């Protein structure tokens, strides 16, 4: 089931100073592994290994094997902190999982047939992605790499809500349990901007500009003294 493995080292130094030394002196990323009723374990991971893994979209929604010495633990990535200006990873949080207990994970959404749906191909509309990922709950063994949403039948004005997503077996969307108000729009087809509206707006702007000019001319005439 696991697609990724990371070889890590346990670290004893804690605090911001220790984390800075890891990054600067050894090119390591400080991390933490927690959950499953066990004590948190501070870790250090080679930056190049973690950076390479993060280039794959699946890394963010798949089971990861954390290897510490001779021990292997299954986990998922819960949080990743990046440098605001540099292409560097600053910290990572991993959550231990147990295969018989449900987990909640943010999973990417992949949209199918965007260019061939009637609202775009025949009616000139545009696709609006209100969400690009969604939080789901499932057993670790059912965790998908991504969820596909087919919009092939959508016309202008149509949309798909969270409740309309066809989920693989064993998956659920926790937010929907909070009531209908939480059933957000995931994707919609918007109408193109009408040319008539643009022309009307331009005409109104031209009239307003002409009126301003006329008023200014009138004021100038009043201020000009008679010969």
Number of domains in the chain: 2
Whole-angstrom Cα distance, residue 102 to residue 170?
Answer: 10
3-state secondary structure of 136: strand
Min mean pLDDT across 103-112, 200-209, 215-224 is at 215-224
- Residue 151 structure tokens: 């919009």
| Domain identity same for 76 and 114 | no
Question: For residue 61, what are its two tokens?
Answer: 């929604």
Categorize the per-residue pLDDT at 203 as very low, low, confident or very high, splitting at 50, 70 and 90: low
Cα dist from 212 to 49, 200, 205, whole Å? 65, 18, 11
Given the structure tokens 């991971």, which residue do they identify?
45
| Same domain (yes/no): 23, 82 | yes
CATH code for position 63: 2.40.240.10
Domain membership flag for residue 141: yes
Q: Does some domain include residue 204?
A: no
* 83: CB partners within 8 A, 6+ apart: 89, 90
- Cβ burial 119-134 (10 Å sphere, 16+ → b, else e): bbeeeebebeeeeeeb
Domain membership of residue 202 (yes or no) is no
Mean pLDDT check: name the lowest of 49-53, 138-142, 152-156, 215-219. Answer: 215-219
Statement to judge: residues 33 and 84 lie in one domain: yes
33 located within any domain: yes
Q: Render pLDDT for 121-171 as a digit per residue (tens, 0 to 9).
A: 999 999 999 999 999 999 999 999 999 999 999 999 999 999 999 999 999
Q: 178 and 138 in one domain?
A: yes
The reply to whether 181 and 131 lie within a common domain is yes
For residues 51 and 179, give the distance between their C-alpha atoms in angstroms, rounded to a whole number: 39
Beta strands at 64-68 and 71-82: parallel, antiparallel or unpaired:
antiparallel
Q: What CA dihedral angle connects 177, 182, 183 and 187, to 10 degrees?
A: -130
Residue 179 within any structural domain of the chain: yes
Residues spanned by the domain of 155: 103-190
Q: Give the residue from 193, 130, 131, 121 showing the smallest Cα distance to 153.
A: 121
**Is the domain of 83 the same as that of 42?**
yes
pLDDT at position 3, please? 74
Within-domain flag for 91: yes
């Amino acid at each position: 089931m696991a697609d990724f493995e990371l070889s890590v080292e346990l670290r004893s130094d804690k605090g911001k100073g220790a984390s800075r030394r890891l990054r600067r002196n050894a090119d390591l990323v400080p991390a933490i592994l927690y959950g499953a009723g066990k004590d948190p374990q501070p870790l250090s991971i080679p930056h190049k290994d973690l950076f390479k893994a993060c280039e794959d979209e699946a890394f963010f929604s798949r089971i990861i094997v954390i290897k510490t010495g001779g021990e292997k633990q299954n986990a998922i990535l819960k949080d990743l902190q990046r440098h605001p200006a540099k292409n560097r990873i600053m910290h990572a949080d991993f959550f231990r999982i147990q295969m018989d207990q449900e987990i909640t994970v943010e999973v990417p959404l992949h949209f199918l047939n965007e260019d061939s749906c009637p609202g775009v191909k025949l009616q000139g509309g545009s696709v609006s992605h209100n969400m690009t990922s969604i939080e789901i709950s499932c057993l670790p063994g059912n965790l998908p790499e991504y969820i596909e949403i087919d919009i092939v039948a959508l016309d202008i004005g149509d949309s798909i809500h969270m409740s309309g997503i066809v989920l693989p077996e064993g998956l659920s969307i926790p937010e929907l349990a909070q009531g209908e108000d939480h059933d957000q729009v995931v994707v919609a087809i918007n109408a193109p901007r009408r040319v008539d509206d643009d022309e009307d707006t331009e005409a109104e702007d031209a009239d307003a500009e002409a009126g301003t000019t006329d008023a200014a001319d009138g004021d100038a005439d009043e201020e000009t003294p008679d010969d």
